[in-house]
Amino acid sequence: MKILFVICGEGLGHASRSSKLARYLTEHGHTCHLASYGRALAFLKKESIPNLHETVREVVLEGEGGYFSLTKTLRSSSHVIMDLYHAFGDVRRLIQKLDVDLVIADTMYAAVPAARIEKIPALFMTNQNRFASAAAGEDAIQWRALSSIVDHYLTVPDAIIVPDFAPPWTICGDNIVPNPEHGEYHFVGPMMDENIGNFEVRKETVFASFGGEPFKIPLYNKLKEIGKNRPDLPFEVFSTAEGIPKNGYNFETFGYVPDIRQHMAKARVMILHGGLTTLHDAIFFQKPSVIIIDPYHPEQWNNARKVAEMGAGIIVEGSPDLSMLELSEAIDRAMLLTPPDLSEQFRTQNGRANALKLIEETVEKYPR
């Protein structure tokens, strides 16, 4: 079977989970092509993923001072209708050229209609169909409108893949509200490709990563300042964005690394931004986390609340006024936590295996 992944290039979480699934499908005899853009495409190239293609971006995520800005994003995405149109044509040409049997759209919206026009099955992978802001009243009308649009759009694919645990362990549970009348949702489990026995799990460093967006750089600067006053906290920070602070006495910076999970495995605590993929990694290694939530990025806020409720993380509400003392104290509090052992959930809810089963069942409905 030939499968085309069309992957959102904003941040690296989409590319990470889709590439894990693609590797697994390839191991089971299928041919996978991956299409993306920007930082995600650069990441996939460094991961030596075969059959890569560049595609048109649909939206541009923007921010300032370390945090997401819906206003700036809407301004930068003012040509979104035309961008979606160009993305639709781009994906349709890829489908025809590669003669694929199935499209998996990882939060790329034009890919599903392109598959529909070509009369092939399409699955949509997402961990969000509801949007709101943690900042009360902030952009409420825009978020509600977006929720309504996405909810109706999700009637178009054959099924929706949610790469997370089934309830009650769903991390993105406040972001996904399945509607039986508006799409077929499958909580397949996290897209993990590791066995914890492959790692030497230690408690040595403070791991920090906020994704690849350039507007997150100010947060790394705060961590470096904390490091100057906390020789007991050796920081390892990761970002592919330009402008990441230079190394310091106990502050080591990394861009792309071949296996970031080797660094996660030796952390005492992980400082994250609330993205689903890295939260799954933290829970997998039973590492407590400090989650600096972006008040204007609803998905991360909701994910963080679930992690905090299970006793695996400390929430710090991000703002330009976030003090180094507040963040330093949050790190200390997180290191006192004992995250729950979800190894049984990881074992029984194998996201890649369940996704493969769903893919094969979906394609069987489309005789060619």
- pLDDT tens, residue by residue, 109-124: 999 999 999 999 999 9
Q: What percent of the chain has pLDDT over 90?
A: 62
Residue-level pLDDT at 116: 95
User: Cβ(114)–Cβ(92) under 8 Å?
Assistant: yes
44 by Cβ neighbours in 10 Å (0-12 / 13-18 / 19+) ranks as buried
Q: How far apart are CA 178 and CA 80, in angstroms?
A: 26
65 Rama class: left (phi>0) / alpha (psi -120 to 50) / beta: left
202 Rama class: left (phi>0) / alpha (psi -120 to 50) / beta: beta
Which among 250, 246, 252 has a CA at the least distance from the CA of 229?
A: 250
pTM of this structure = 0.88
Mean pLDDT of 219-231: 90
Q: How far apart are CA 354 and CA 188, in angstroms?
A: 5
pLDDT at 208 > cutoff 60: yes
**Domains of the chain with CATH codes:** 2-192+350-364 (3.40.50.2000), 196-344 (3.40.50.2000)
Bridge partners, 205 (sequence order): 267
What contacts 117, CB < 8 A, 6 or more positions away? 92
Mean pLDDT of 45-51: 93
